[in-house]
Amino acid sequence: MILKTPPYLKKGDTIGLICPAGFMPAENTTVCIETLKKWGFNVEVGKTVGHQSHYFSGEDAERLQDLQDMLDDPSVCAILCARGGYGCSRIVDEINWNAFRKNPKWLIGFSDITVFNNHLYQKLKTSSIHGPMAGAFHKAGGEDAYILTLRKALSGRKMSYKTEPHGMNKFGKVSGPLVGGNLSILAHLVGTPSFPDTKDCLLFLEDVGEYLYNVDRMLLQLDRAGKLHHLGGLIIGGFSDCKDTVVGFGKNIYEIIQNRVAPYSFPVAYGFPVSHEKENVALKIGVVHHLQVTKSGVVLREAK
């Protein structure tokens, strides 16, 4: 597959800011907007930012139109989602991608934005960025090291990350397109046109607030659907705030994952800094990366 990479950004370019899923108060985007301007970008704030319809940042039609306007506007070079939540899968099939195909641009986000990230890869053969959203700027500030990885990604820097060894790592060296995101959303996408072809890919996973048994069930869903059978490698990020039942499941998160992938020979890296917490680096979806899992640690770097 030939992957389309949107043009990288330069000073003076415009980033659109939208809420395509859950509601976010407008004041929670202030630090993000100020930081993007400090980086030299213009910011176009969408109509859904600060707008609310119960749980959502607007009715489906309103959220769809806000995203569509940003996709169709030739002056907008990238679209940063202010937050995730739930709602992207309610509108993804209604998006008109004609203008985007002619003028691809970076779409940025994680959590529920996993819907768009993987749809772009699978259906439009276009890269996107799984990375910090406005909420992260609000909590950590614009000078946070994890936030700054987004600036590097948007400017076209080749991304490279190193992590410490983990006792459950499975060693190996492999290269392949980087796909993945939020486990709950990926399980939700199984059987839809938006789920990525994972053959020979490096799959990364993260999640938040799930029951242990449900993590096991979602991994089982991916496995039974054949999505783990031919992976190139697996990268496990943060699984924060996970809960157990009154009668315990009997395994922790990493043990659940280790048990599920035990039959496979691909390398597995645990504890990678991609999560719903502060430790959430920018990753370019679909771009070929090299993964090395050795006794000295893990290296994930973008291919040259």
How many domains does the chain divide into?
2
> Mind listing the pLDDT tens digit for each residue in 30-63?
999 999 999 999 999 999 999 999 999 999 999 9
SS3 256: helix
Per-residue pLDDT tens, the chain, 304 aa: give them.
Answer: 799 999 999 999 999 999 999 999 999 999 999 999 999 999 999 999 999 999 999 999 999 999 999 999 999 999 999 999 999 999 999 999 999 999 999 999 999 999 999 999 999 999 999 999 999 999 888 889 999 999 999 999 999 999 999 999 999 999 999 999 999 999 999 999 999 999 999 999 999 999 999 999 999 999 999 999 999 999 999 999 999 999 999 999 999 999 999 999 999 999 999 999 999 999 999 999 999 999 999 999 999 8
Statement to judge: residues 165 and 295 lie in one domain: yes
Residues 191, 110 within the same domain: no
Q: Is 145 exposed, middle or buried (0-12, 13-18, 19+ CB in 10 A)?
A: exposed
The predicted-structure confidence for 76-112, as pLDDT tens digits, reads as follows 999 999 999 999 999 999 999 999 999 999 999 999 9
Q: Are residues 279 and 292 in the same domain?
A: yes
Does residue 101 lie in a domain region?
yes
Is the residue at 233 inside a domain?
Answer: yes
Single out the residue in 123, 155, 187 at which a domain terminates.
Answer: 155
Residue range(s) defining the domain that contains residue 298: 160-302
109 and 146, same domain (yes or no):
yes
Q: How far apart are CA 177 and CA 199, in angstroms?
A: 9
**pLDDT at residue number 31:** 97
Q: What is the CATH number of the domain that holds 235?
A: 3.50.30.60
148 and 39 share one domain: yes
Q: Specify the pLDDT at position 194.
A: 98
Pairing of strands 172-182, 297-302: unpaired
Are 141 and 188 members of one domain? Answer: no
Is 280 found in the same domain as 150?
no
Instruction: Please check whether residue 5 lies inside any domain of the structure.
Output: no
The single-letter DSSP state of residue 32 is H
Residues 6+ apart with CB under 8 A from 17: 29, 32, 33, 43, 44, 45, 46, 49, 79, 80, 82, 134
Q: Give residue 1's pLDDT.
A: 78
Cα 300 to Cα 293: distance, rounded to the nearest angstrom: 9
pLDDT value for 237: 98
Same structural domain, 24 and 150: yes
Q: Tell which of 155, 184, 202 closes a domain.
A: 155
- What per-residue confidence (pLDDT) applies to 34? 97
Does 205 share its domain with 280? yes
- The pTM for the full model equals 0.97
For the chain, what is the mean pLDDT? 97
**Residue that terminates a domain, selected from 155, 176, 202:** 155
